[in-house]
Structure 1
């Protein structure tokens, strides 16, 4: 009780004393700041007076209006925004030079009185601020500097200040933000005022006289701050609430204890949940320390490699589940884990406890503690055995599709082949019959028989070339990518292209750069692409006139690729067809399977190239595919073309070669 009686007066007097101290501190701060501002204004005015005195000395020494003098007048005005103008008057008050257009009548009566007083007293004088009608009723104050040479008055320099700009440029922004500042005379006539933060509240005020020669200017400051409130510094509130704070602290302590118990319960549940989740996932998880020691594995990882947890924990390289053929790769990755992309992962092979290999995909990232320091590596391991089997099945399926597409293509060529083979066989039969008739007649002449046998040989080779091309095209075999010249591939596929073109009565133009660098390709797969694209081009032109039926094939090097273009002059590809052009099982032909272009694109992308198309400016479509060079650094770019001999039949309407 006694302590409460002692503390009560303190609690009552404390806010009043605090308010009084704060009021006094604010007032003292305002006085100090006002004094600082007053000194700043006086410093600027004295500096301008000194600069004007230097100009006056120059004029006394040389009264000519030189360009250098004009430049000094201009520099003084431009470097001090508060200066409105500078005028040089001679002894008869005629204007010798002015930075702005000036007439003596523009000078206020108060300024004219000041110039007379300065002349008589031979001392510089400030004029009383006055309104100038010609300057939008702005208030200006002139500073007059009389000039005397050998005790003879030779003129005056008049420096004009704009009162509002004095406050704008000579009072710092931080002071103007908290105070209303004004310049006035002894009768409280305000000449200039600045109140960036609002009008003063007449609580904290102070005045300072600038003590200028010839004029009494008063600098007044009026703070925008309110009087301090009783509990403005919260000191009393803190003391009063201290007791309540103690009770609140006890309550908060009890609350934190309950929260801690709840957090511990939640943590135990979370650990149990995590343990159950780790046991249920099929993804293998393992953690290794910075020195490569296994410190954690989950049950899925143990089942994957066939070892118990106690057999794996604590192991270092080489691990028991590492395959012998990949140990060096494991060691390299373990020592340089920071260089690998944790988003994409990497594939490798693990060895099961029973010895069989397991293809796995590993994602690994840094394991960090609460301080952000790395303590090890966390790895997620996926068994991709089933994915590998699916990929193998998919590859076999694609190979069957390619084989089916080649057989379908040959089905379309069957009738043309029959016609092509019938011609050499009929010729062979005719020449053989003629030779037999010569033998039966007994008039066997070797010179007459030799041309017939030569023609039989040529026709047999022609038929054999057709059969070999077809056999090589439809034969099933594993893809074999080897460095080849596209010239050789076109020579091989040329008989089949001729068969197609002849059936549609279409001419062929082939243009191939020479020399072309080698490309790494599977010849039969690429032949399928070329034959499919040329067949589509030929079918697109079957409705044209005979003179328009020209199939163009151009092959050239572009940077590190070889570009092949198959150009037709047909009707082009409608937009609705273009959207699904490369989709599987989409075809505009009633008898088509819709797999041709899709397989072609798959083959080209397998070779590292791209298959695209665009509209032909001359009508039709241009299909293009690129193939990367087998050795880009070993070949130089060349633009020398060579014609590929096509040996097209002479009975076609258009059958030319372009060079």
Structure 2
């Protein structure tokens, strides 16, 4: 045997040997220190009394601070408020030496006192401590603290005997008689249990905390030191021998127990780790069906703790009422030993009433002696699995229902083989595919490309139908590449679009004719000017020719002027002709200022007749736009004419028409603002609807045509209130390039 093992054999005897040596040493020490016991007890008495003094002073200080804090709350707190009552109750419960508590005015009249006492000590003064008095046979002192407004006092009566009983601990009371003395050294109150020692060992110390002048005295109780000194060594010797004898037997038991504890701790730690890591619930029944064990996971499932479920018997509180019979049958089958290989599917109920589904697998529970003591069951929460399965099925059904409800034909085909993987009902009907068709391939509608996705039109010559095709490359559920193609029947849309185009052209023609009828007087005025000038020049030519020597130079100048006026009249007539001519839209490079000048020239007579002040503000470096000049002239004509008509009912000095041309990035913004009566907000959105008008003689198609023209040029048109009164119509047009215009259909 190795030396460490030999030492280990004697190791259990060491505590007994040490106990014997300690006993002998302690007995020798006791005999030697017998004479010094008295002095040591006196010193201990002084230390204990000093500690007791500090405890009493700390409690008195705490009481004074609590009373001062309570007095401070009387400025903002009602005496009957829950906060004040709670603080008073807490103070009395924390400091039982406060026998009564009251609030008194400066004349000693009690305003309020605690419900714990039916009387209060009257107090007259300016605050502080009173002398010791006897109240109901008990020595007491009174302390008063003034409130912040100095109109009242909180008066507390402190029972000195209760203070002594509460602050003197049991171990002090068993050693000494503790007394409180007044300034004349007369005992006020005491705490004692036995007769005093005849040796008269005592000590007195002055209290430094108020109430001042009181002293604390401790008298040592009587003990039999001689008898203790004679018997104790013998008892210690017997004890040492007994300890030596018991140590030998105890060491063997401790060794066996230590080995068992090590194995038990390892087993418990392993079992705890396994139990903590399980997400499945584990539950054990005894042979009578009572629950004897439930792990953490099962407790979290049902919402009951393991202590609550211990000794539960059927019916269990976690069985739902609607599933009671099924749960009862499963429970009885497990107790009877009828184990299903695949387990049992049941629905349980949490403590909050929530239902959840579990799968239960059971097995016999056998103890260490091989006896069958019950059944162990494992429960797996399958609620989410079942819910996901049902949600997936429902989602698939909804997807199929939505897909079949679409008006568009949808098909998914394999990118490599062209095999049709899925199609909706509309696709099968549109292209006459049978229901039981088996595997088949389809041809793409248009040429496919991955980037960018294809959006094109396709004509079915066999059925004489137009389709809008959207082709996208995607990934199928198995990760393979597929093509998703959506074919929307656009035959009716194309027919409607063509009809709408023809109707818009007719409406635009009608609007132009109406506008020409309204501006007839203006046209007459514009034509009268060049015609009158020509007549004047003709009369001048006659005068020159009638002279004896005609001035040929003057005659040539008059003829040139006549030609210019004839050209001017021709330009006016040609512009009117183009304005009212019905033709297809023609986009070309044009300048917005030129278009504006043409429109203002056509409306010049109306501007003068209506006394309208027209102002034009534009940004510098405005690039040209590519648009249909006649259409934009019609928009400007209608907006400017409407603005002038809106100011008929305002004074002439306020008839201001502001035209603002600005550039916003790559867009031209045109704003036409008037100072008329304005348009109500609820009418602004209605203005652009067909046949809606605010005029008595209007047809309600002008603004609708204007918006259609602007949107045809990829712009936007709107209306808003003009700050300061009136209305502002605005529209935007893009600065397109000639190449972009050429690519447009």
Q: Higher Cα Rg: structure 1 or 2?
A: 2
Please, what TM-score do these two structures have when normalized by structure 1?
0.50
Please, what TM-score do these two structures have when normalized by structure 2?
0.44
